[in-house]
Structure 1
């Protein structure tokens, strides 16, 4: 009986592989809370389009387009004062539109600093579950992560724009990767796998 079950399982796996169906997606999805929308926060001179590759990755593990929200700052100079306030209003609108209690944030570059100022100065902690920064200029926004937020900082020693000393921050899960440029953090497959891993509960 066991041999029959093993044979059937083998046939199913072969069929999934033949038709190109990813057999790991269910395992990847199982620990992600899809009830929390994801807010994508760009850096200086950036825009929502910076996250095209990350959005595609997130959709591949179970997020829908309606789960993903990318802000476009009016002031693209990275101004902490203005951008953190626009981010506050944007997240309030996302929560109102989705009915969710909290969001998760993925931020690149100065977007990390803007996010930390929102968390520490504008009451954002209660509205955010997880934050993942990519080459984040985190220490320009705060010296440590506020309690109550699951914070991951992913940064690269090959980043010539934001130094690792700005990205590393007390209280975070600090992850050092190698051989990835500042903009490459937005498209690198290893980094995207780390993003998915750190969105899990």
Structure 2
């Protein structure tokens, strides 16, 4: 039932996005989206995040940076994940990047600029905490942008682990959104540059994936769902390279119906994230009633 409700929410979100695309391009008098700085929180951070006095512990020496997805923001993407990470003893930080719609919807700006925002934010987190490295957990586009940061913006020595939840690492056909976005690229380029940049044949992905998917010294985990309707096909998220763990959610818990939008609040996914961040202390994954015994992954 939870997966079905979230799929309904996802469909509604896609309809809202398409309505906005149509309404924005209908009038030449409407302004272009305003891209903001992540220094000012138009949307508040999720529970527990952005405590700038937090000091990493010996058990969890690396702060966590949370990177949201397209048409999302730090609060709606991480309202469930953030408090779980904080409760587990991590210093947690989140930001909004690629802002539009007066700052309430993010992740729609040019992807290289958004990756630079993440780079600047990581530097701010490292300066505040005194840590040498961070771990990044990213959803959808937020799982892709850190790879650009690692490869082209000097992020590799600053990141220990990258966990991508439903990332479109090799581009997306956009599932439910594919037909309209493919047919109206000029309108989409103005309102949501990242939407067309996430198409599989985009110049962004040609550059990002040239020479291999990963960077040496960084640990990668990808969690994807067979029911994903936005990062399609769902296998687009899987990476090739050393120190990569590609996980299909339904291989761990066959009864888990979580799709793209539900993953960041799904208890199974959250435990997989915790296990990826601290692989020496993995806990069983709570598959739930009627699915079978809990598994460790």
Residues 78, 42 of structure 1: alpha-carbon distance in 2 compared, 3 angstrom cutoff: farther
Q: Distance in 2 between matches of 1:103 and 1:52?
A: 20
Q: Could you tell me which residue of structure 2 aligns to residue 193 of structure 1?
A: 271
Q: Distance in 1 between matches of 2:65 and 2:89?
A: 16
State the secondary structure of the residue aligned to 1:183: coil
Q: Distance in 1 between matches of 2:95 and 2:59?
A: 21
Q: Distance in 1 between matches of 2:94 and 2:149?
A: 16
- Quick one: which of 60, 67, 77 aligns to 2:87? 60
Deviations 1:47-84 (A, max 9, x none): 11011100121123223xxx110011143215221111
How many residue pairs match? The answer is 167
Q: Could you tell me which residue of structure 1 aligns to residue 93 of structure 2?
A: 69
Q: Is the 8 A contact 1:105 1:128 kept in 2?
A: yes
Question: Unaligned regions of 5+ residues in structure 1, if any?
Answer: 1-31
Please state if 1:169 is matched with 2:239.
yes
TM-score normalised by L of structure 2: 0.54
1:107 CA drift (Å):
0.1
Q: Return the structure number with greater helix share.
A: 1
Deviations 1:60-114 (A, max 9, x none): 3223xxx110011143215221111111111011101111000000000011111
Kindly report structure 1 stretches of 4+ aligned residues shifted beyond 6 Å: none
Matches within 5 A, 1:1-201: 33-49=59-75, 50-63=77-90, 67-75=91-99, 76-77=107-108, 79-139=110-170, 140=205, 141-142=208-209, 143-163=212-232, 164-171=234-241, 172-178=244-250, 179-201=257-279
Q: Distance in 2 between matches of 1:55 and 1:196?
A: 11
> Bigger CA drift: 121-130 or 142-151?
142-151
> Bigger CA drift: 53-62 or 39-48?
53-62
TM-score normalised by L of structure 1: 0.78
Q: Return the structure number with greater strand share.
A: 1
Deviations 1:105-150 (A, max 9, x none): 0000011111110011111110000110100112344341111100
Q: Distance in 2 between matches of 1:59 and 1:105?
A: 14
Question: Unaligned regions of 5+ residues in structure 2, if any?
Answer: 1-57, 100-106, 171-204, 251-256, 280-297
State the secondary structure of the residue aligned to 1:138: coil
